[in-house]
Amino acid sequence: MHHKALHPFSHCAVYCYLNPVCGMAFVRGQYALLFPNTAAGATMSSRIELANAIRALSMDAVQAANSGHPGAPMGMADIAEVLWNGHLKHNPANPDWPDRDRFVLSNGHGSMLIYSLLHLTGYDLSIGDLRNFRQLHSKTAGHPEYGYAPGVETTTGPLGQGLANAVGMALAEKILAGQFNREGHAVVDHRTWVFLGDGCLMEGISHEVCSLAGTLGLGKLVAFYDDNGISIDGDVEAWFSDDTPKRFESYGWQVIPNVDGHDADAISKAIDIAKADTDKPTLICCKTIIGKGSPGKQGTESCHGAPLGADEIQATREALGWQHAPFEIPSEIYAAWDAKAKGAEAEQAWKETLATYAQAHPALAEELARRMSGALPVNFETDIDNYIALCAETAADVASRKASQQTLNVLGPLLPELLGGSADLAGSNLTLWQGSKGVSNNDAGGNYIYYGVREFGMSAIMNGIALHKGFIPYGATFLIFMEYARNAVRMAALMGQRSIFVYTHDSIGLGEDGPTHQPVEQMTSLRSTPNLETWRPCDTVESAVSWKMAVMREQGPSALVFSRQTLPHQYRAGEVLEEIERGGYVLTPEVGELDAIIIATGSEVSLAVEAAATLSESGRGIRVVSMPCAERFMAQDAAYRETVLPSHVLARVAVEAAHADYWYKFVGLDGRVIGMTSFGESAPGDVLMKEYGFTVETVIAAVEDVILD
Ligand SMILES: Cc1ncc(C[n+]2csc(CCOP(=O)(O)OP(=O)(O)O)c2C)c(N)n1
Ligand SMILES: [Mg+2]
């Protein structure tokens, strides 16, 4: 073992480090080479000691919680130390500074790594917060949760998705820079750094997003692969033997292989190489030892996801030469980690760049501020309301996917923040509007991403774009392939991000493509996701309203579900237009006494209206409730819901060409649901609709039935 001087990251110190090439036990004192008299008069700590602070906090917090993952933070501590102390552009006092670098811990199980970093560098995350690791209502949740601890840029834990979010962030940076930077004014200029493990690389989504990141040349994305050869079941050789460097080279990435992830000098050099290439994303492959520092457990899966145990922690303290009590960090170590002054300086420098930009391009500067704040243009609501009124007046019969595209043609010019896309179904999803312009490697000035056939990747990238801010992403596929993207939709909802998921070909009504393509249970799945709003509009008016609601919903995602087939326009009294926003409303009032209620959505609304008309000719008082967004309806006050669905009227029928079960909470067990309970078939759509009972006659019969009950 030897020491050597590193190029210093601060002007007054020479750092020492150890070059551990193996997992040998460490002898106390080996790292404790201190420089007692620096210019500042403080004792400077060695890089290893700084990294050991992460190791100690991580093992002690996991031990205190009696739950968690010490292995990854201990294994990546040296990499994190070099990145955070030497390269990361951030300001602990202002985690929302728009031009900060983004840091993503895609191997989110190593959450104590990011909590340690945030605490040590001076974010508002106290030692008490660290002591509370994994406890109810603490900021330090088991996996990093967006919105809990300041500085956590995205929720991670579902492996591979953090990496996808990071790709989205880097893509957002590139496009925003393309839209706003001007000669001599780089107001958008930051990097995205992501840590990931074997698990992230085994997950299929890593292929989807890294392939796209290479194609689009996201040169300011830098990924660190924690190549420790271990995952939960043990040595990965038996289930993960890819040549990762070759894999990433073939994606068009710059790959830096074989970096000793415990050698600060080597890591820093690799980062310099990564930064120098802004044409390609970079993967730095770091050989590391999981749980490094724990003499009895390092290098094995035993330290992946369980506390080390009191005895092993004691042995680790001795091996590391870390004599401090749990959660006790010496002041000189705090001082060496403290990034507040450096961060304030960096933000100040950016503010000066911004001020010069604002002088040269005042309108752009104002628009950039608006975009980053997420606020909509002041006239947005009036403009879209005018369009909704126009749809009502025009009364066109069109497929709702087409109605969506017509709405986009209105929204596009109003909202330059819309960043569209489709997973290779632009012509079917109808997501291109007249002003859509593709983003490419060489031209980042566009507003539309051709995601290719990558539904999961697209959706998680959209979340990264939304988290980055500056854009409202929308991305589309067939409703059935929402399934491929399911967990990213869930993560958008969990994080409260304004991602707009557009799903067309919404039922058996799509016809000939058959049961593989016909959604049945997907609506239920979407509707049961907390904080997601799912719209299934019935005509041009409801389609435009659904877009308006999705755009205006700042704290969560929306799924907009559109038909392949043409849907007739529905006539409404003028004042009813506003009630569409409540998610459910009386589309057709009953004539006379209210005998029964038909609830319908999307393509089945017209069946309900026709059935009600026929029934009212025979003297029945039938009300049709259109319910394009059941979640939003359920969120209305009880009085409104009572006016739409009076509780004394139990004669109720629901009609929707999706899974029947969802509707029993609205119609009651004595009600009738005309819905799907099986897969569909391959046949023309209108034939299938008849085959599965979506006809006026069936609806009439069901209503007669419930009235008689
Ligand atoms: C999508 C997903 N599947 C499974 C898990 C459960 N899980 C958490 S960590 C892990 C192993 C990850 O291995 P690696 O990335 O090599 O982490 P290391 O053990 O090296 O820290 C698994 C299977 C998860 N978090 N996310
Ligand atoms: Mg691993």
Residue nearest to atom 8 of ligand 1 (CA): 109
Pocket test for ligand 1, best of 59, 232, 239, 240 (most atoms within 8 A of CB): 232
Residue 44: band (very low, low, confident or very high) from pLDDT cuts 50, 70, 90: low
Residue nearest to atom 21 of ligand 1 (CA): 72
Ligand 2 geometric centre to CA of 514 (Å): 41
Residue nearest to atom 18 of ligand 1 (CA): 231
CA dihedral 198, 202, 203, 204 (to 10 degrees): 140
Ligand 1 geometric centre to CA of 554 (Å): 31
Beta bridge partners of 363: none
Backbone dihedral angles phi then psi of residue 22, each to the nearest 5 degrees: -140, 180
Residue 480: DSSP 8-state: G
Ligand nearest to the CA of 227: 2
Read off the pLDDT of residues 443-496 as tens digits, 9 standing for 90 and up.
999 999 999 999 999 999 999 999 999 999 999 999 999 999 999 999 999 999
Ligand 2 geometric centre to CA of 141 (Å): 21
Dihedral sign for Cα 206, 208, 209, 213, please.
positive
**Interacting residues of 505 by C-beta distance below 8 A, sequence separation 6+:** 401, 428, 478, 479, 480, 513, 517, 519, 563, 564
Beta bridge partners of 622: 596
66: region left, alpha or beta (phi > 0 left; psi from -120 to 50 alpha): left
Q: Which pTM does this prediction carry?
A: 0.94
Residue nearest to atom 9 of ligand 1 (CA): 109
CA distance 60 to 144: 18
In this model, does residue 18 exceed pLDDT 90? Answer: no
108 CA closest ligand 1 atom index: 25
Radius of gyration of the chain (CA): 29
Ligand 1 geometric centre to CA of 490 (Å): 19
CA distance 218 to 465: 13
CA distance 196 to 237: 18
72 CA closest ligand 1 atom index: 21
Pocket test for ligand 1, best of 106, 200, 231 (most atoms within 8 A of CB): 231
Mean pLDDT across the chain: 94
CA distance 132 to 491: 24
Ligand nearest to the CA of 456: 1
160 CA closest ligand 1 atom index: 1
Backbone dihedral angles phi then psi of residue 223, each to the nearest 5 degrees: -110, 140
Pocket test for ligand 1, best of 74, 76, 105, 109 (most atoms within 8 A of CB): 109
**Structural tokens at position 64:** 């205190």
CA distance 142 to 155: 11
Ligand 2 geometric centre to CA of 297 (Å): 14
Read off the pLDDT of residues 48-77 as tens digits, 9 standing for 90 and up.
999 999 999 999 999 999 999 999 999 999
487 CA closest ligand 1 atom index: 1
Say how many CA atoms lie within 13 Å of 410 toward its Cβ: 25
In this model, does residue 9 exceed pLDDT 80? Answer: no
Backbone dihedral angles phi then psi of residue 195, each to the nearest 5 degrees: -100, 140
In this model, does residue 35 exceed pLDDT 60? Answer: no
**CA distances in angstroms from 376 to 45, 174, 415, listed in the order given:** 48, 22, 8
Assign 502 to helix, strand or coil: strand
CB count in 10 Å sphere of residue 383:
17
Asked if 282 and 223 count as a contact pair (C-beta separation under 8 A), the reply is: yes
CA distance 504 to 404: 10
Percent of the chain with pLDDT over 90: 93
Ligand 1 geometric centre to CA of 13 (Å): 38
Pocket test for ligand 1, best of 114, 159, 206, 287 (most atoms within 8 A of CB): 159
**Structural tokens at position 608:** 């309900």
107 CA closest ligand 1 atom index: 15
Residue nearest to atom 13 of ligand 1 (CA): 231
In this model, does residue 6 exceed pLDDT 60? Answer: no
Ligand 2 geometric centre to CA of 499 (Å): 31
In this model, does residue 600 exceed pLDDT 50? Answer: yes
304 CA closest ligand 1 atom index: 19
**Interacting residues of 610 by C-beta distance below 8 A, sequence separation 6+:** 696, 699
Ligand nearest to the CA of 197: 1
In this model, does residue 638 exceed pLDDT 90? Answer: yes
CB-based pocket (< 6 A), ligand 1 = 71-72, 107, 109, 157-159, 197-200, 203, 226, 228, 230-232, 290, 304
CA angle 324, 83, 16 (to 5 degrees): 55
158 CA closest ligand 1 atom index: 26
Ligand 1 geometric centre to CA of 234 (Å): 11
The enclosing H or E element of 399 equals strand 398-399
Mean pLDDT over 316-336 rounds to: 97
Residue 499: DSSP 8-state: -
Residue 145 is among the residues annotated as catalytic for this protein: no
For residue 391, the model assigns a pLDDT of 98
For residue 344, the model assigns a pLDDT of 98
In this model, does residue 17 exceed pLDDT 70? Answer: no
Beta bridge partners of 560: 502, 535
Read off the pLDDT of residues 488-529 as tens digits, 9 standing for 90 and up.
999 999 999 999 999 999 999 999 999 999 999 999 999 999
CA distance 247 to 300: 26
Locus of tokens 């980053």 = 372
Of 612, 607, 574, the residue nearest 596 (C-alpha)? 612
226 CA closest ligand 1 atom index: 20
Catalytic residue among 455, 579, 590, 704: 455
Say how many CA atoms lie within 13 Å of 275 toward its Cβ: 15
Mean pLDDT over 371-389 rounds to: 98
Ligand 2 geometric centre to CA of 206 (Å): 15
Read off the pLDDT of residues 549-598 as tens digits, 9 standing for 90 and up.
999 999 999 999 999 999 999 999 888 999 999 999 999 999 999 999 99
For residue 336, the model assigns a pLDDT of 97
Ligand 1 geometric centre to CA of 232 (Å): 7
